[in-house]
Amino acid sequence: MYAMECVVCGESSGSSEDFADGQSWVFRHCGRNPSHHTFREIITRPWRTWRHA
Ligand SMILES: [Zn+2]
């Protein structure tokens, strides 16, 4: 899962399985807030254990 977060205002794109969704959110966010140029990428990897010792 990918999400993008604006470092300036803390707004986030919300997580999506498609990285392109986060990217298009960044472009929209920059368009609305021309002074917000710094973003953080948040990657959530689903991780499951299947062996219980
Ligand atoms: Zn922002």
> Each residue of 32-44: pLDDT tens digit?
999 999 999 999 8
Q: Pick the closest to residue 1 from 45, 49, 47, 48 (CA basis).
A: 45
Residue 53 pLDDT more than 70?
no
Count of domains observed in the chain = 1
pLDDT for 51: 77
Q: Residue 20 domain-assigned?
A: yes
Percent of the chain at pLDDT > 90 equals 77
Q: How far, in Å, is the centroid of ligand 1 from the Cα of 51?
A: 42
Q: What is the value of pTM for the model shown?
A: 0.79
Q: Which of 17, 4, 20 is closest to 46 using CA atoms?
A: 17
Give a yes or no: residue 50 inside a domain.
Answer: no
Whether 52 is covered by a domain: the verdict is: no
E strand or H helix that includes residue 10: none
Q: What is the per-residue pLDDT for 48?
A: 82
User: Is 23 domain-assigned?
Assistant: yes
Residue 21 belongs to some domain of the structure = yes
Which residues are within 8 A (CB) of 35 and not within 5 positions of it... i.e. 6 or more apart?
8
Neighbours of ion ligand 1 (CB under 5 A): 6, 8-9, 33, 36
Domain that holds residue 35: 2-43
